[in-house]
Structure 1
Amino acid sequence: MRGAELIGTVLGVGYVKPASGTWGSLVALPWAWLLHVVGGLPLLVVGIAVAFAAGWWATARMTAGSDDHDPSEIVVDELVGQWIALLPLSVASWRMGIDITVMWPGWIAAFVLFRLFDIWKPGPIGWADRRGDPLGVMLDDVIAGIVAAIGVVVLAGAYHAF
């Protein structure tokens, strides 16, 4: 595999069928945990920024000259979006000094909400997806990740309120 393909498919995970996007989101979970354990919230944030930039580049390379602007094997966008959805857990763990795995319901919520918004594509998520360019491929998952992260915070607030 070439560099762009390795990045875009997240080391080949994008070729796993069916539901390659879901597989991309699943593989993002242990990697987010590893980034958080090694370097906390700062490393996860750096990881998101680096993966976004590399993913944008890889998507541009992999789709150059193709009619398909978002082939299913490109899953680096799911990795980025899933990491964003997990940010509230990393923030809470980092600030409170607790083990991030203790918040396992939040991990499930982040995964389910991210997949829901990434598949459904309401509002600005759909707008970004319809751009039809490599930036749009990345942005729809970034926005879905942000919306999922907000959902994680709302659910955590509701859980802890009752």
Structure 2
Amino acid sequence: MSASLIYDLAPIGSTVAWSDGTPRPPERHKKKLSAWQTRNSQGRLIRKEGKRGVGATSLTPCFTLHEGNLGANGIITVRIHRTFSLDSGLTFKVVERPTLGSVRIFDRPGANAELVHLATHRQAAAEWLSRHGYPHAILEEVTADEVAADHIEGRAAA
């Protein structure tokens, strides 16, 4: 899939893989492998941003994936996010979509909201929120209509 199809079709909370199409280098080539992993990985879709302007400059729509966290002893010190514009030359694939009944937790309301957690159900979402500091969090349940829309026009095969 192209980046624009991910933007249009993949629901927030999906796990998305990206690739440049090159084969994985052997483990012994540390620098080549590290560079390859930058262009070939996966993450959870946490945000979609439409076209926006900064002064006289117009920025194209993009989406952001949460690739992972760095930290120790249960403390996250760095979150690794990757943002892709719709004109990216990489190939994308939806690996997993959020399941029916799961609950998305966004950090705030509005267009710039970012997914901070995907819970299996509403009680798990409330439990997670009680342990984390998001006072303006918004909960959004994955609905049957959204899951059904994924199966229209062959989207489930993507």
- What is the TM-score of this pair, normalised by structure 1? 0.26
Larger % of strand: which? 2
- What is the TM-score of this pair, normalised by structure 2? 0.26
* Largest Rg, 1 or 2: 2
